[in-house]
Amino acid sequence: MGRVVLLGLLLVAILSCRSPYREQIEAPVRTEAWQPGEDWRREPIEVGADKKEGVVVDLPSVLERAGAESLTVKLARARAEVAAADEEELISRFLPKLHPRAAVRRIDGLVQGTQGEFVDVGKQNFFFGGVAELDVDVVGTLHALDAARARTRAASETLKGAGHEALREAARGYYDLVEAHARVEIAMRFRDYARDLVAFTADRERAGVGARADTLRAEALLERAKGHVAETEGLVARASAHLAEVLLLPEDTLLVPSASLAVVQLVDPETPFEVLLERARKARPDLAAARSLVEARAADKDRADDAWLAPHLKLGVAAGAFGINPGNLRDQEDYYAAVEWTWGPGLVAREKAATSRLDAARIALLQRERKAAREILDARARIRAGERAFAAAGVELAKTGEALRLARSRFEAGHGPIMDVLDLERDLAATAQRRVVALIDLNRAHYDLFHAVGASSREF
C-alpha cells in the first residue's frame, strides 16, 4: 500500500510540473481557414487540366503538406519545447529533491572534540539512506516562473506564426506554379496559331495569291513563339523546384497544378481599417508573442526589484542507517532549516538591466504593431489595384479577341494585311498573360491580407 501511495505522489508531482502550453505546442498546424471555400468567384481560366506528366497538386493538398512538413514549423516547435522544459524545470524547484546516498568516511589523525581539545583518533563510519532537500528562492522563483511561462506562451505563439508563414509561403509557391503553367499554355496556344499561320501563308504563296514576305513574317512569328515556350517552360521548372523544396519533396519532382482559377477572398478588403487593425492585434501570433515577451520582461524586473527582500529557503532531512561498520548500523535522522538573504552591488545592476530589457520589449511590440498596420494597408491597396487590373484585362482580352477574329477573316479573304493579324495575335497573347498574372497577384494580395490580420477564421 505504501508503494502505491508513493508512486501516486510521484505521478502527481510529475504531472504538476507539466507546462499548460504543451498541448498547444504539440498540436498540428491548422490549415482549414487557408483552404479554398465554395464561395469563391469562379473565373473561366483552366490551368493544368490536360497535363499528362508530373505530380498533380491542388491548393488544399499543398497547404496540408506544408503544415505537416515545414522545417520552419519543426524548428519553431523544437524551440517552444525548450521553453516549456525550462518552465517545467522552474516548477520542479518547489518540490523537494531526493538524493539516495551511500557513503563511507574515514578519519586518521587529529580531530577537535566538543570541549575544544584535540585528540588523535582513527575512525570510520558508514551511511546508507537518502536526503530530501528543498532549496528555493521562493519569491524570486515565482517571478522567474511567471517570466518562463510568458516565454513559453511567446514561443507557442511564434510556433503558430511559423505555421501561418509556412502556409502563406506554400500558397504563394502554388500560385507561382499556376502562373508559370498558365504562361506556358498561353505561349503554346500562340505557337500553335503561328504554325497554322505559316501553313496558311505557305499555301497561299504556292497558289500564287500570297506574298513571300507574308510567309517569312509568319515563320519569324513561329520562331519567336517557340522561344517564348522554351522561356516559360524554364519558369515552370523553377516554380516546381521551389514548391518541391517548400513541401520537402524530391528536388526533381515536376509539379502540375490542377486548378480552375478563382479570386480568393478570405477577408473583405472593404472592412474599415480600424476593424482590421484591431483584429490583427487580437489574432496575429507575432503580436501575441511580443506581448508575452513584455510580460516576461516585466516579471524579470519584478524579480530584480524584490531581490533585496526575497529570502532563500532551505529545508532538508537525511534519513538512513548510520554506524561504524556495515554490521553495526543504527537509524539516523538529520534535519535542518535555514532562511538567508543575498545582498550586493550586483542587484543594482540587475535592476537596471531588467528595466532596459522591459523598455526594449515594449518598443519591439510597438514596432510590430506598426508593421501590422502597414501590411494591412499595403495588402488592401494591392487588392484594389489588382481588381481593377484584372477587370481591365478581361475587357481588353474580349475586345482584342474580337478584333483578331475580324482581322483573320479579312486576311483570309484577301482584303487585309498579315501585319494586322500578327500584331493582334501578339496583343492577344500578351493580354491573356496579363490577365492571368493580374488574377494571381490579386490572390497573393488576398492571402497577404489574411496573413496580416492574423489568419483567423472568417467569423472572427
Q: Given this model, what pLDDT does residue 217 score?
A: 85
- pLDDT tens, 343-354? 878 888 889 999
- CA-wise closest residue to 444 among 76, 211, 176: 176
For residue 23, is it within any domain? no
Per-residue pLDDT tens over the stretch 390-429? 999 989 989 998 998 898 888 777 777 877 887 888 888 8
pLDDT at 262 over 80: no
Q: Which domain does 286 fall in, by range?
A: 49-100+120-452
**Does residue 81 sit within a domain?**
yes
Higher per-residue confidence, 155 vs 433: 155
Residue 177 belongs to a domain: yes
What Cα–Cα distance (Å) separates residue 460 from each residue in 130, 228, 316, 391, 450? 57, 46, 53, 30, 12
Q: What does the pLDDT read at residue 102?
A: 81
Distance of alpha carbon 460 from alpha carbon 220, whole angstroms: 57
Asked which of 105-109, 260-264, 444-448 is least confident by mean pLDDT, the reply is 260-264
Residue 335 host element (H or E): strand 329-340
- Count the domains in the chain: 1
Most confident of 15-24, 37-46, 234-243, 334-343: 234-243
In a domain, 114, yes or no: no
Q: How far is CA 185 from CA 178, 356, 392, 422, in A?
A: 11, 58, 21, 19
3-state SS, residue 319: strand
| Enclosing H/E stretch for 121 | strand 118-137
The model's pLDDT over 71-114, given as tens digits with 9 standing for 90+, comes to 899 999 999 999 999 998 888 887 778 778 787 877 877 777 77
With a pLDDT cut of 90, the percent of the chain lying above it is 31
pLDDT at 369 over 90: yes
Residue 128: in which H helix or E strand, if any? strand 118-137
Task: Give CA angle at 190 (184, 196), nearest 5°.
Answer: 135
The amino acid at residue 207 is A
Query: Which own/partner contact pairs does 415-418 have at CB distance under 8 Å and 24+ positions apart?
Result: 418/201, 418/214, 418/217, 418/218
Q: Tell how many helices (H) and how many strands (E) occur in the chain.
A: 10, 8
pLDDT of residue 84: 92
Residue whose grid cell is 484584372:
390
Q: What is the residue-averaged pLDDT of the chain?
A: 83
- Of 180, 439, 113, 150, the closest CA to residue 298 belongs to 150
DSSP state of 454: T
- In the numeric block, which cell numbers belong to residue 260? 480552375
- When pLDDT is cut at 50, 70 and 90, the band that residue 355 belongs to is very high
Residue 288 covered by a domain: yes
Please state, for a pLDDT cut of 70, what percent of the chain lies above it: 91
Give me the CATH number covering residue 175. Answer: 1.20.1600.10
Confidence of residue 70 (pLDDT cuts 50, 70, 90): confident
In a domain, 13, yes or no: no
Residue 336 lies in a domain: yes
Domain membership of residue 79 (yes or no) is yes
Give the contacts of 66 (CB within 8 A, at least 6 positions apart): 31, 166, 167, 169, 170, 246, 247
DSSP one-letter code for 438: H
